[in-house]
């Protein structure tokens, strides 16, 4: 056969094929040593993680041959591409911890930037699978300072915020500047025992500030989900984290102007009854029982359950439609609002408002915490942040006064002054500047002391009881309804149906708030 015979192969093409096949195979599976390390850490390989997320056969990868000319850097340590999750198209960005601990090089950053640009162009949700030791110092000039450097990733994440869902599973470390990637996402799921976030490692902290601290204490998953509030959900392993990410995705729309997914409606796991809510406001109870009586069976998806648990936030479904729940929990710290609970509420309200998810507030709140410690911690500033979020939200909002709603707590829980679609009260509800006991003591302290000094303890108690009776008459629930402070009073067993009717009617309400470039919220 002559050289011109088409059946004769070109050795240069054969060489290219061989090298590409080798480069492709290098990122197809971990080395034996890397696989053993993953197994010892109870971690999945990056491609196995993606396979659990996306529909079978749907993933299309970009940039698989990134840095193929450099030995030991298959795909440059990150897998990017697109696929479908339950039939819905998404972008996936997943670090490969078997490649230099998932660290970033110049092409790693370029792949991530391109993936976020695709998400912006097509308004596609982004799943971030983070497991990275941070930037490679050897590549810093190429990947750190320029217009398409690592900073562009954060810029694009901020541009994506509120436009499309961003969901992060943190399987391992997220170090230094890379720690900001999870913090810019809508939901951060952290795997206990493996996930960590920190701007400086424990070794760096010891060198720079002289602090000796363990990785778990400074940036571990449980710490971030309970103390700092950066983490939203604590998962036991990779599989649970991915399953939770997919479940969360079922509650949110494809992007900011797409409809929220609908499902077949179900009855609550246990209907509300008059016994569900204790009539004495001083008796604590778990508000999860009320939530479960309102939402479809087993549909409540709680967010930040381990952080500031005096306030409960999360998604539920009512007759198959997603709603956001913000509820005071008197079983924890009496349901008082603290700085952390205000932050938790504000971010969740912004999330619901971004994706057109109606909000239901379940108020049983004595107000914001008082005292020098919380004042020094900025309780006014944090409380203003929550009130700002409630005020500016344009989705349908319903305030349900379950029991007490005192002081600025009424405002923070979407009370009448903030234009909710309706303020609904149970017969156990009380609305006032403060509770009767505190009010009487505040107004009549000097007189109470005079009566006690002149007539004794029995006369004092009688005087206090009379003043308390007058105060309670002044804020009587029937009077509040008669004065149109309250739009409706219903028994617990009728609350779900009342809300369902009102949610349907409010579904197409006007979404305008104010004409301006933007507000300047407290931070």
Average pLDDT over residues 123-151: 90
Look at the chain and count its residues: 523
Predicted confidence at residue 5, as pLDDT, reads: 67
Give me the mean pLDDT over the 446-466 stretch. 82
Reference 164, options 342, 340, 355, 347; nearest CA is 355
Please indicate, yes or no, if residue 441 is contained in any of the structural domains.
Answer: no
**Helix 436-455 with 457-474: angle, nearest 10 deg:** 150
Are 97 and 132 within 8 A, CB to CB?
Answer: yes
276 located within any domain: no
**1 has pLDDT over 90:** no
CATH code for position 377: 3.90.226.10
At 109, give phi and psi (nearest 5°): -65, -45
Residue 142 has pLDDT above 60, yes or no: yes
Q: Calculate the alpha carbon distances from 429 to 124, 253, 328, 473, 501 in Å.
A: 44, 35, 14, 13, 21
Measured CA to CA, the distance from residue 75 to residue 23 in angstroms comes to 8
Q: Which of 250, 275, 298 is the last residue of a domain?
A: 250
323: three-class secondary structure by DSSP? strand
Does 454 or 350 have the greater pLDDT score?
350
pLDDT band at 185 (very low <50, low <70, confident <90, very high): very high
CA 77, 82, 85, 89 dihedral sign is: positive
In this structure, are residues 190 and 216 in contact, taking their beta carbons and an 8 Å threshold? no
Q: Is residue 512 part of a domain?
A: no
Higher pLDDT, 245 or 452: 245
Q: What is the pLDDT of residues 55-81, one digit of tens each?
A: 999 999 999 999 988 889 999 999 999
Smallest CA-to-CA distance from 403 within 451, 356, 371, 435 is with 435
Do 36 and 120 lie in a common domain? Answer: yes
Span of 103-117, 128-142, 333-347, 364-378 with lowest mean pLDDT = 128-142
State whether 82 and 225 are in the same domain: yes
Lowest mean pLDDT among 265-274, 296-305, 423-432, 457-466: 457-466
Mean local confidence (pLDDT), 180-187: 95
More confident residue, 321 or 515: 321
What is the model's pLDDT at position 177?
Answer: 75
How confident is residue 489, by pLDDT bands cut at 50, 70 and 90?
very high
Return the top range by mean pLDDT from 17-31, 132-146, 226-240.
Answer: 226-240
Residues 172 and 291 grouped into a single domain? no
Summarize the confidence of residues 260-269 as an average pLDDT.
Answer: 96
Task: Indicate whether 203 and 107 sit together in one domain.
Answer: yes
| Long-range CB contacts (within 8 A, 24+) of 118-122 | 118/82, 118/91, 119/91, 119/156, 119/160, 119/164, 120/156, 120/159, 120/160, 120/163, 122/89
User: CA 226, CA 343: separation in Å to the nearest integer?
Assistant: 14
Contact 294, 316 (CB under 8 A): yes
Q: Is residue 261 part of a domain?
A: no
Select, from the ranges 26-35, 46-55, 127-136, 455-464, the one with the highest average predicted confidence (pLDDT).
46-55
Q: 47-56, 99-108, 253-262, 510-519: which range is least confident on average?
A: 510-519
Cα dihedral 294, 320, 57, 90 sign? negative
Look at residue 310 and tell me if it is in a domain.
yes
DSSP 55-116: PTT--EEE-TTTTTTSTT-GGGGEEEEEEEETTEEEEEEEE-TTTGGG-B-HHHHHHHHHHH
pLDDT, residue 470, reads 76
In angstroms, the Cα distances linking 186 to 116, 202, 294, 354, 445 are 15, 27, 25, 11, 48
Reported as a pLDDT band with limits 50, 70 and 90, residue 466 is confident
Residue bearing the bigger pLDDT, 511 or 410: 410
Which helix (H) or strand (E) segment holds residue 19: the answer is helix 11-26
| pLDDT for residue 434 | 82
The structural domain count of the chain equals 2
Query: Each residue of 393-445: pLDDT tens digit?
Result: 999 999 999 999 999 999 999 999 999 999 999 999 999 988 777 777 777 77
Are 204 and 140 found together in one domain? yes
Which pLDDT score is estimated for 296? 98
Domain shared by 201 and 78, yes or no? yes
pLDDT in tens, 265-287: 999 999 999 999 999 988 999 99
| Cα(173)–Cα(181) distance, integer angstroms | 12
Average pLDDT, the chain: 93
Q: Residue 6 — pLDDT band, cuts 50, 70, 90?
A: low
Asked, for residue 182, whether it belongs to a domain, the answer is yes
Domain of 406, in residue numbers: 287-435+475-507
Rounded Cα distance, 468 and 476, in Å? 12
| Angstrom distances, CA of residue 65 to CA of 78, 111, 129, 236 | 11, 11, 20, 33
* DSSP secondary structure string for all residues of 474-518: HT-HHHHHHTTS-SEE--HHHHHHHHHHHHHHHTT-------SS-
- Write down the pLDDT at residue 3: 60
Residue-by-residue DSSP string for 304-316: STTSSTTEEEEEE
**333, part of any domain:** yes
Q: Are residue 174 and residue 296 in the same domain, yes or no?
A: no
Residues 362 and 296 in one domain: yes
Please check whether residues 125 and 178 belong to one and the same domain. yes
Q: Long-range contacts of range 482-490, CB-CB < 8 Å, 24 or more positions apart?
A: 485/416, 485/423, 485/431, 486/401, 486/416, 486/423, 486/424, 486/425, 486/429, 486/431, 487/422, 487/423, 487/424, 488/422, 488/424, 488/425, 489/424, 489/425, 489/426, 489/427, 489/429, 490/424, 490/425, 490/426
Q: Answer whether residue 383 shows pLDDT above 70.
A: yes
pLDDT of residue 276: 95
pLDDT at residue 511 above 60?
A: yes
Domain co-membership, 301 together with 411: yes
The pLDDT of residue 197 is above 90: yes
Q: Which of 257, 222, 223, 131 is nearest to 182 (CA)?
A: 131
State the average pLDDT over residues 159-183.
93
Same domain, 221 and 106: yes
Is 9 a member of any domain? no
Q: For 116-144, what is the mean pLDDT?
A: 92
pLDDT score of 386? 97
Residues 219 and 307 in one domain: no
Which of 322-331, 451-460, 480-489 comes out lowest in average pLDDT? 451-460
Q: What is the pLDDT of residue 4?
A: 64
């Amino acid at each position: 056969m002559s050289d011109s015979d088409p059946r004769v192969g070109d050795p240069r093409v054969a060489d290219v094929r061989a090298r590409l096949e080798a480069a492709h195979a290098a990122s197809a599976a971990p080395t034996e040593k890397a696989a053993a390390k993953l197994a010892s850490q109870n971690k999945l390989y990056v491609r196995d993680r993606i396979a659990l997320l996306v529909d079978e056969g749907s993933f299309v990868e970009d940039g698989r041959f990134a840095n193929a000319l450099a030995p030991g850097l298959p795909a440059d340590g990150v897998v990017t591409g697109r696929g479908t999750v339950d039939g819905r198209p998404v972008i996936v960005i997943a670090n490969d911890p078997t490649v230099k601990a998932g660290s970033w090089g110049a092409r790693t950053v370029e792949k991530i930037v391109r993936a976020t640009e695709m998400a912006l162009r097509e308004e596609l949700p982004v799943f971030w699978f983070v497991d990275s030791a941070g930037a490679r110092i050897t590549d810093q000039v190429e990947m750190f300072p320029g217009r398409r450097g690592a900073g562009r990733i954060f810029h694009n994440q901020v541009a994506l915020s509120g436009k499309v869902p961003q969901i992060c599973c943190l399987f391992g470390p997220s170090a230094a500047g890379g720690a900001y990637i999870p913090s810019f996402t809508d939901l951060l799921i952290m795997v206990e025992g493996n996930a960590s976030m920190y701007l400086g490692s424990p070794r760096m902290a010891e060198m720079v500030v002289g602090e000796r601290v363990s990785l778990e204490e400074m940036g571990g998953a449980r710490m971030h989900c309970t103390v700092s509030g950066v983490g939203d959900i604590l998962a036991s392993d990779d599989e649970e984290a991915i399953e939770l990410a997919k479940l969360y995705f079922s509650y949110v729309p494809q992007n900011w102007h797409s409809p929220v997914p609908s499902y077949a409606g179900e009855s609550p796991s246990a209907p509300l009854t008059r016994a569900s809510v204790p009539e004495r406001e001083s008796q604590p109870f778990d508000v999860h029982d009320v939530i479960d009586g309102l939402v479809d069976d087993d549909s409540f998806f709680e967010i930040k359950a381990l952080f500031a648990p005096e306030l409960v936030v999360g998604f539920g479904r009512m007759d198959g439609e997603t709603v956001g729940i913000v509820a005071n929990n008197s079983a924890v710290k009496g349901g008082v609002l603290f700085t952390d609970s205000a932050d938790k509420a504000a971010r969740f309200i912004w999330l619901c408002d971004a994706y057109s998810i109606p909000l239901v507030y379940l108020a049983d709140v004595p107000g914001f915490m008082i005292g020098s410690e919380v004042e020094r911690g900025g309780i006014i500033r944090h409380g203003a942040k929550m009130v700002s979020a409630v005020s500016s939200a344009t989705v349908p909002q319903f305030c349900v006064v379950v029991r007490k709603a005192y002081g600025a707590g009424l405002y923070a829980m979407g009370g009448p002054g903030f234009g909710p679609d309706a303020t609904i009260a149970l017969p156990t509800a009380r609305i006032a500047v403060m509770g009767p006991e505190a009010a009487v003591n505040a107004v009549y302290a000097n007189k109470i002391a005079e009566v006690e000094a002149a007539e004794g303890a029995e006369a004092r108690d009688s005087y206090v009881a009379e003043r308390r009776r007058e105060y309670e008459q002044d804020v009587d629930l029937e009077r509040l309804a008669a004065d149109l402070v309250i739009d409706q009073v219903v028994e617990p067993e009728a609350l779900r149906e009342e809300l369902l009717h009102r949610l349907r009617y409010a579904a197409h309400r006007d979404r305008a708030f104010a004409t301006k470039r933007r507000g300047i919220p407290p931070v």
